[in-house]
A and B are shown apart, each in its own frame.
Chain A
């Protein structure tokens, strides 16, 4: 078990460009979450998947954001036409749905996005 992996660790992009981040959850976990964290704040929920189904999306997730988890394993988060306000740390987490460890999210180290 190597934990939750996120790639890349850092991304610098020009305003208006598209970016895509990848998250590989813990293999046994059936739930996967995306959060966004800006400087000096706690993480904010963006969306979550149970297996390949995207079951909930935050109002923070504008039309420029899309997330997928095509085979119920890894997930991607794409931001189109990036804006400076998108600069943040994007965190992925995974968990079991049920059982004694349910809700015990394991977070990845995050992808830090800087839009210039």
Chain B
């Protein structure tokens, strides 16, 4: 069964600083990987996804993520953080999306942005 680990429960950065959120996954085959963002009391918004091809994936809001198979990682990055980026971020791995089905999420990283 697949699993996702987000080692950082909470990260604080200053506005304008760079950001990297870590994600490690466990899955036996080629994974489908996602990053979602969730604002308080809201559902999840898809930032980006990786299915195959170029291992550097560009997403919305200036985010990017890099798939590193050798490290089983899919870290999320942003070169310059804005105050509006404060939210909770979830990494997820999906199995067999051509035919199914479910995503397995990490426990999330809460991002605080200081002015």
Binds B, one of A69-77, A80-88, A96-104: A96-104
A102/B108 contact (C-beta < 8 A), A45-B103, A108-B43, A110-B43 known: no
Are the CB atoms of B107 and A41 closer together than 8 Å? yes
B34, B43, B46: the one contacting A91 at CB < 8 Å is B43
Residue in A closest to B97 when the chains form the complex, CB atoms: A103
Are the CB atoms of A109 and B42 closer together than 8 Å? yes
CB neighbors of B among A27-49 (8 A): 33, 40-45, 48
With an 8 Å Cβ cutoff, the count of chain A residues facing the other chain is 26
Residue from B51, B100, B104 whose CB has the most chain A CB atoms within 10 Å? B100
With an 8 Å Cβ cutoff, the count of chain B residues facing the other chain is 26
A103/B44 contact (C-beta < 8 A), A45-B103, A48-B102, A55-B101 known: no
CB neighbors of A among B67-115 (8 A): 90, 92, 94, 97-98, 100-108
Are the CB atoms of A56 and B102 closer together than 8 Å? yes
Chain B residues within an 8 Å CB radius of A48: 100-102
CB neighbors of A among B12-38 (8 A): 32, 34, 36
A45/B97 contact (C-beta < 8 A), A4-B43, A91-B43 known: no
Residue in A closest to B108 when the chains form the complex, CB atoms: A42
Chain B residues within an 8 Å CB radius of A33: 102
Are the CB atoms of B101 and A43 closer together than 8 Å? no
Are the CB atoms of A102 and B43 closer together than 8 Å? no
Chain B positions within 8 Å of A, measured between CB atoms, are 4, 32, 34, 36, 41-46, 49, 51, 90, 92, 94, 97-98, 100-108
Given contacts A45-B104, A106-B46, 9 further A-B contacts (CB under 8 A): A41-B107, A42-B90, A42-B105, A48-B100, A56-B100, A102-B98, A103-B49, A105-B34, A107-B45
24 contacts across the A-B interface (CB closer than 8 A) = A33-B102, A40-B108, A41-B107, A42-B107, A44-B105, A45-B102, A45-B103, A48-B100, A55-B100, A56-B100, A93-B44, A102-B97, A102-B98, A103-B49, A103-B94, A103-B97, A104-B49, A105-B44, A105-B46, A105-B103, A107-B43, A107-B44, A107-B45, A112-B41
